Amino acid sequence: MGRYSSTDTESRKTDRCTIMARIFIAATSRDEIFIKRILGDKHDFVSARVMSDALARIKEGEFDLVMIGLHFDQSRMFDLLRELHQIRYDTPVICFCARETTLTRTAHNSINVATKALGAWMYLDHQKYNDTNNPEDELRRVIERCITGEVRKEIQSDRMDIHKQREKLLRLRQALADKEWTVELEDRVAELREKLAQVLLELSELQIASIAQQELVAESRRLDDRVSLPVQTAENSMVQEETRIGIQESEQLGQEQGVVPAEEAKAKEGRRHMLDEETKNQVREQDLLTNNC
């Protein structure tokens, strides 16, 4: 995928059943503390206080989520959002207001519309969530639903990579089907089967991680967490793609299982023929010894 070093990628793979992300926060120190308190310490946070630092860090690094506070760099949230919009930045962006302000609900609604027009997935005003018993829990789930989308994209990409590996292994096995049986050929088939088993193990881990991410979203939906339409639309697209990949994997499994009977029959016949030849050779050797005597 090219977004992380090999070490980072392996670390992320082990945490796909939960959510561990690299999050960039462009906000005041007070607002950054608010976000970190909600999300906890399981994520990797990078932050900036002024526009120049924010742009430099975004260009230098890859993130799963970008969060921009309304009061960032003396209320330059919209300036940074426009910069990201101009370069067609495709990482999810959440704009947020984490403090009491004199802004009216109408003003917040206008900000919500404007941020989405510039590409933000959501505008979170923490006051809007204060009507629940655990507003910070809901905010955490909402933010993590945005992160989930990026994790699911990575899982889908890895599943497609495995699909290509399985196609290659199947082609190799099919090519061996036309060759005459030998011990070496049977060993080669066994080697290809072993490689397939390893690939399928990795696939099963990805499928489990995919289900875990789906369950996180389902739980949030069950609790009626308030997320924006862009987030819901992205999640629905994810479900469609995951369904397509699942069907593709099932069809591929059928093709792999389909070559097994011919491989087994060929190996059985080859070993029987080899045993017959060995028996014939032994008989010939015995006849020669008998005649010599």
Domain residues of the chain, as ranges? 6-132, 143-261, 262-293
Which of 93, 112, 194, 97 lies closest to 150, judged by CA?
A: 93
Specify the pLDDT at position 4. Answer: 41
pLDDT of amino acid 100: 79
**pLDDT tier at 87 (50, 70, 90 boundaries)?**
confident
Distance CA 46, CA 166 (A): 38
Pick the CATH number of 6-132 from 1.20.120.1200, 3.30.160.270, 3.40.1160.10, 3.40.50.2300: 3.40.50.2300
pLDDT at 193 over 90: yes
Residue 235 and residue 229: Cα distance in Å, rounded? 10
Q: Looking at the predicted structure, is the pLDDT value of residue 6 above 70?
A: no
Identify the residue with better confidence: 136 or 14: 136
Mean pLDDT of the chain: 88
pLDDT, tens digit (0-9, with 9 covering 90-100), for 197-254: 999 999 999 999 999 999 989 999 998 898 888 889 989 999 999 999 999 999 999 9
Question: How many CB atoms lie under 10 A from the CB of residue 93?
Answer: 26
pLDDT at 195 over 80: yes
Q: Is the pLDDT of residue 46 over 90?
A: yes
Region of poorest pLDDT, from 152-161, 184-193, 273-282 = 273-282
Q: What is the pTM of this model?
A: 0.76
